[in-house]
Amino acid sequence: MPRRVAITGLGIISPLGLNLADTWKSLSEGRSAIGPITSVNMSRVPMKIQNGAEVRGYDPLQHFEGGKEAYIDRFAQFSIVAAREAVRDSGITLTPELREQGAIVCGSAVGGQAAIEAGFEDLYVQGRGRVHPLTIPKTMANAGASHISMDLGIAGPAYTISTACSSSNHAIGQAFHLVRDGAADMAITGGSEALFTIGMLKAWEAMRVIAPDTCRPFSKDRKGMILGEGGAMMVLEPMEAAKARGAKIYAEICGFGMTADAHHLTQPAVHGPARAMRAALGDAGLQLEQIGYINAHGTGTPGNDPVETRAIREVFGPHADKIGVSSTKSLHGHALGAAGAIEAVATILALHYGILPPTANYTERDPECDLDYIPNQARAAQVEAALSNSFAFGGLNAVVAFRRV
Amino acid sequence: MGDEVAEKVIATLASVKRIPADQINLDSDLRQMGIDSLDVFTLLFELENAFQISIPDDDVRSIKTVNDIVEGIKKLLAAAPPKPDAPPPDVPPGSAAPVN
């Protein structure tokens, strides 16, 4: 008999705030964190990309002692900061048994590529003969999961999933199944990303998918995505164990669906995302009418938004018009492998507080995007269940379902 | 102290571990100071840049105290003094992520 799984702790460091309370405040007030990029020396090379959603005001020395911050890439630092907050928030006691078999499943698309880029600068630009000695362990994509394990002393299954922009949703789904199926009695799951470097910005610039101004998902005048960064983690426990210890339960994670488009490297498709949503609903045992909110993938590119709209219509039929659909990427940017985790936090808190975060920067209706996108203003609504969509380059789709408790 | 190499080693160690330099002396045992192998790699990397030397892997294994590092560097400097035309390292490589 599969177990029900409760979300008992949340932690986040995002462009919207350095912790859960501040991030939720910005989300629920619809305050976008998109602005001129300041963490990169933008004058070094000609750069079309000017705006992003950066984590501002973060001081690693408040979180790491003895010079350890120099050994941990920013993306992995975010995962530790978020995991610590999530565990603290859950109030869980890490018993020897939980430490022994607790799971950690993280998502990251690019891992510590900033660290190796710094090494390339030393070698190719500065002409030095050596790179920082910890370039390898800083760069590895599993650094986030490994550091959480060492930091919190949790020694069960721990790994990282890298499926571009779906990474975190794949991670959360896998962690959910580990707890549901009894392979772990606790899991910390989510994702993190830190991608603001010249090399990364130029690579995205070359893809021609970045908006020159801001991210306007589903709006007719949308011009593309805006990059973001951050980390978000949640604590999953069997529902019965959570109730037995009197834990605060934000929501239930109840379904996960994943599919591949088998179609195109970058062009979105309708059938893959639609099948992933159906799979998540089926896994959760949810009826279409129970879904009242979808946190859309909603990148704000001309390509994604109408295709995602069609996929939602295909799955939900007439009920699609009764669902609030928002893309919070308009607020926190697209944090690639952390996007699913940040958006899961938004979705879970939307269920918990009965406030649906809006799609910001929305100005004009697009006939091809004809759903209710909760434009610009958060909406008070007690919905029963919600989906969080993530669709990746390479045609990999992952959808997570949550239910209010 | 009057020993430039020792002063530089202690200052670098203090900077890497973020501890006050006056808590470090030549007899300080690295392990007792909580300095692990990653700290040693980082310290040697900074010292290689500071002194413009290359520290062989074999020399690293026998390091136990601050003085072991100081003596090792002095030997390397005596064997191959820094080239006078080598540019001084202006930015600490890697650690400062100069790309950004």
Do A227 and A214 meet the contact criterion of CB atoms below 8 Å apart? no
Convert A300-355 into a string of H (helix), E (strand) and C (coil): CCCCHHHHHHHHHHHHHHHHHHHCEEECCHHHHCECHHHHHHHHHHHHHHHHHHCE
Same domain, A321 and A190: no
pLDDT in tens, A336-349: 999 999 999 999 99
pLDDT in tens, A80-108: 999 999 999 999 999 999 999 999 999 99
Same domain, A273 and A395: yes
Two structure tokens written together for A143: 């650094």
pLDDT for the residue B82: 63
Question: In chain B, which residues have their Cβ closer than 8 Å to the Cβ of A198?
Answer: 99-100
Same domain, A149 and A22: yes
Q: How far is B12 from chain A (nearest CA, A)?
A: 12
Q: Within chain A, what is the greatest distance between any pair of CA atoms?
A: 64
- A121: contact with B, CB 8 A cutoff: yes
pLDDT for the residue A338: 98
- Residue A16's pLDDT band (boundaries 50, 70, 90)? very high
Of B34, B42, B100, the CB nearest to A134: B42
Question: In chain A, which residues have their Cβ closer than 8 Å to the Cβ of B44?
Answer: 133
For the cut 50, the answer to whether the pLDDT of residue B97 exceeds it is no
Of A41, A65, A134, the CB nearest to B38: A134
Parent domain of A305? 253-403
Q: Concatenated DSSP letters for A122-165?
A: IIIIS--S---TTHHHHH-TTHHHHHHHHHHT--S-EEEE--GG
Mean pLDDT of the region A237-249: 98
For the cut 80, the answer to whether the pLDDT of residue B88 exceeds it is no
Percent of chain A with pLDDT over 70: 100
Of B17, B19, B45, the CB nearest to A132: B45
pLDDT in tens, A373-386: 999 999 999 999 99
For the cut 70, the answer to whether the pLDDT of residue B87 exceeds it is no
Q: What is the mean pLDDT of chain A?
A: 97
Same domain, A97 and A137: yes
Do A362 and A216 meet the contact criterion of CB atoms below 8 Å apart? yes
Mean pLDDT of the region A250-267: 96
pLDDT for the residue B2: 65
Same domain, A102 and A28: yes
Q: How far is A108 from chain B (nearest CA, A)?
A: 21
pLDDT for the residue B83: 61
pLDDT in tens, A275-334: 999 999 999 999 999 999 999 999 999 999 999 999 999 999 999 999 999 999 999 999
Q: How far is A38 from chain B (nearest CA, A)?
A: 10
pLDDT for the residue B58: 85
- Residue B24's pLDDT band (boundaries 50, 70, 90)? very high
A237: three-class secondary structure by DSSP? strand
Same domain, A284 and A385: yes
Question: In chain B, which residues have their Cβ closer than 8 Å to the Cβ of A199?
Answer: 99
Nearest CA in chain B to A42: B100
CATH code for the domain in which residue A130 is found: 3.40.47.10
- A70: contact with B, CB 8 A cutoff: yes
For the cut 90, the answer to whether the pLDDT of residue A244 exceeds it is yes
Same domain, A117 and A231: yes
Domains of chain B: 4-79 (1.10.1200.10)
Same domain, A286 and A397: yes
Of B19, B41, B91, the CB nearest to A134: B41
Same domain, A204 and A320: no
Question: In chain A, which residues have their Cβ closer than 8 Å to the Cβ of B93?
Answer: 122, 126, 128, 130-132
Two structure tokens written together for A194: 């830190």
Question: In chain A, which residues have their Cβ closer than 8 Å to the Cβ of B94?
Answer: 118-119, 122, 131-132, 135
B18–A66: do the CB atoms touch at under 8 Å?
yes
pLDDT in tens, A345-361: 999 999 999 999 999 99
Question: Count of CB contacts below 8 A, A vs B?
Answer: 68
pLDDT for the residue B95: 47
Boundary-marking domain end, from A244, A274, A303: A244
Question: In chain A, which residues have their Cβ closer than 8 Å to the Cβ of B36?
Answer: none
pLDDT for the residue B99: 44
B99–A134: do the CB atoms touch at under 8 Å?
no
- A245: contact with B, CB 8 A cutoff: no
CA distance to A122, A378, B16, B75, per residue, from B91 (Å) = 10, 47, 15, 26
Domain count, chain A: 2
Same domain, A227 and A376: no
- A39: contact with B, CB 8 A cutoff: yes
B interface with A, Cβ–Cβ < 8 A, is 15-19, 34, 38-39, 41-42, 44-45, 48-49, 89, 91, 93-95, 97-100
Cross-strand bridge partners of residue A358: none
Boundary-marking domain end, from A184, A214, A244: A244
pLDDT in tens, A178-224: 999 999 999 999 999 999 999 999 999 999 999 999 999 999 999 99
For the cut 90, the answer to whether the pLDDT of residue A405 exceeds it is yes
Same domain, A276 and A219: no
Distance from the first to the final alpha carbon of chain B: 38
pLDDT for the residue B96: 45
Residues within 8 A of B (CB atoms), A 71-110 only: 71
Boundary-marking domain end, from A194, A212, A244: A244
Same domain, A261 and A309: yes
Q: Is B29 one of the catalytic residues?
A: no
Mean pLDDT of the region A150-164: 98
- A184: contact with B, CB 8 A cutoff: no
Nearest by Cα to A276 from A145, A111, A389, A405? A389
Mean pLDDT of the region B19-24: 94
- Residue B85's pLDDT band (boundaries 50, 70, 90)? low
- A150: contact with B, CB 8 A cutoff: no
Element (H, E) at A171: helix A167-180
